Amino acid sequence: SAVISQKPSRDICQRGTSLTIQCQVDSQVTMMFWYRQQPGQSLTLIATANQGSEATYESGFVIDKFPISRPNLTFSTLTVSNMSPEDSSIYLCSALWSPGSLAGETQYFGPGTRLLVL
Amino acid sequence: AQKVTQAQTEISVVEKEDVTLDCVYETRDTTYYLFWYKQPPSGELVFLIRRNSFDEQNEISGRYSWNFQKSTSSFNFTITASQVVDSAVYFCALSEAGGFKTIFGAGTRLFVKA
């Protein structure tokens, strides 16, 4: 399986500021994803991040608010810009990993970043 | 459109009881993948199982077992002899061939009391 780490694990931020979340995978992966999980809710996909191309955003999420970088096959960042209290959530990074062509691909997740915006 | 329904919002059991978490899915794809993830209070999503649409064999892993039935579009998860450490939110998920986009159910919160 892929081991994924995220930094920071949690943060408390002031309204109007920005926070960049880092995601590191212990092996090279083609596709990485960023999700948001609001309190007590399920996961909502923000965007798909492929190395060497622009991130693909889901409906309701825009690049100006959630810029994403994917500089190489093991790393990605998500920035939450101009934050408001409504952005308080857990942000989860995941990577699509396959042990081999017959076993298929599975998303593995990082530990998440708990963000509180005051 | 793809959809995953976990009708049970919360389940509470006493330790050592068996518990089944239900998952019903909708998809028009003939090839798809089903998953179960566990999210303990720490927040990290832990991968439990992946099942391909062409493999209807049930699977057992220790106290965990999964029943996949294409005829009813269900992929249910049973924990035998539940333990307090099983307390978590469990998510069922569905992805299209290639696994590029995964749809998650609303999750079922399981409380196991000592």
Strand spans (E) along chain A: 4-7, 10-13, 19-25, 31-37, 44-50, 56-57, 68-72, 75-80, 89-97, 106-109, 113-117
**Range in A83-92, B12-21, B56-65 with the lowest mean pLDDT:** B56-65
Confirm or reject contact between B38 and chain A (CB < 8 A).
Answer: no
Sign, Cα dihedral of B86, B38, B5, B80: negative
Highest mean pLDDT (candidates A15-19, A98-102, A107-111, B48-52): A15-19
Gap between the Cα atoms of B90 and A36, Å rounded: 17
pLDDT bracket for residue B111 (50, 70, 90): very high
Contact B77, B63 (CB under 8 A): no
Each residue of B40-64: pLDDT tens digit?
998 899 999 999 898 888 888 899 9
Least confident of A75-79, B75-79, B93-97: B93-97
Q: Residue B16: pLDDT above 90? A: yes
Q: Among all residues of chain A, which has the CA nearest to that of B109?
A: A40
Check whether B85 has a pLDDT greater than 70: yes
A42 with B91: Cβ contact below 8 A:
yes
